Amino acid sequence: MKFIRLRRIALGLGLLLALPRAVPAADLAVAAAANLVYALDALNAEFVRGHPEVHLTKTTGASGSLVAQITNGAPYDVFLSADVEFAQKLVKAGGASASSLKTFALGRLVIWSVQPGIDVTTVDGVIVNPAVHKLAIANSQTAPYGRAAMEAIAKLRLGPAAEPKLVQGENISQAAEFVETGNADAGFVAMSLVLSPKLKTRGRWTEVPAGLYSPLGQAAVITRHGEGNPAAQAYLDFLSSPAAGAILEQFGYRLPR
């Protein structure tokens, strides 16, 4: 009987350790790169399911713009960048904790069109297609996906053909909006956007080969504002969980090894 009682206690402790650790009731403000806009809704819903005591709010935008906001005092607790470089930039500026920085996913770039007559079989074919008069990209100075698009164009040696066609969105969500609304005939956007419930039935796309651009490591970091907030660390821990990984893969992200 004593052995059975001890076994039950051990099993109970194991179940408790497997559950998400509760944190004190808190507000948590997450600032995230625009490519995460749809995945973020699913991620946040899953996080709050395990942490109902946390009141979570989100803001999305170009990674570089968010770094500028946080550096200037914007009260965000966690920053999710579309690349590691902007997260490191925030750390170097004194706006985030270096020890908390982690890569939680790898973004993927696609070229996309909703125009029925445009063949998207190959990236270079879209760029040189005479039916493509406007080609959308995100701001290459502040949005990593925009920079990745410019790298791909340069490696394909199609700058002269592409540059007269380029229309620039403030961030990757706005670039996708240009394509969706027909204000651009095609565009370089995040795979996570074209796989979203809103857009997955719209148009056709092809993935840009990963060798044409620098890796888009999605990086998470706790800001100086969020250092004293236990919910911020709980959120970073959650991003490495199997549940978060399943959501990220559903939206086309690769998981870091």
**To the nearest 5 percent, what fractions of the chain are helix, strand and coil?**
45, 25, 35
Alpha helices in 97-190 (DSSP H): 123-128, 144-155, 159-162, 172-180
The domains of the chain are located at 23-106+215-250, 107-212
pLDDT digits (tens, 9 = 90+) for 194-228: 999 999 999 999 999 999 999 999 999 999 999 99
Encoded tokens for 246? 């399943």
Confidence check: pLDDT of 9 > 90 = no
Greater model confidence, 11 or 249: 249
Secondary structure class of 74 (helix, strand, coil): coil
Across all residues in the chain, what is the average pLDDT? Answer: 91
The dotted CATH code for 107-212 is: 3.40.190.10
Average pLDDT for residues 113-129, to the nearest whole number?
A: 96
Greater model confidence, 161 or 257: 161
Contact at 8 Å (CB) between 146 and 152? no
Q: What percentage of the chain has pLDDT greater than the value 70?
A: 90
Alpha-carbon torsion (236, 41, 27, 85), positive or negative: positive
pTM of the entire predicted model = 0.85
What pLDDT, on the 0 to 100 scale, is given for residue 23?
A: 61
pLDDT digits (tens, 9 = 90+) for 135-182: 999 999 999 999 999 999 999 999 999 999 999 999 999 999 999 999
What pLDDT, on the 0 to 100 scale, is given for residue 26?
A: 83
The torsion defined by the Cα of 23, 25, 27 and 31, in degrees rounded to 10, comes to 20
Confidence check: pLDDT of 22 > 70 = no
pLDDT digits (tens, 9 = 90+) for 92-106: 999 999 999 999 999
Distance CA 110, CA 101 (A): 27
Question: With respect to CATH, is domain 23-106+215-250 assigned 3.30.1360.170?
Answer: no
Place 10 in a pLDDT band, splitting at 50, 70 and 90: very low
Cα 85 to its chain centre, rounded Å, is: 14
- The reply to whether domains 23-106+215-250 and 107-212 share a CATH topology is yes
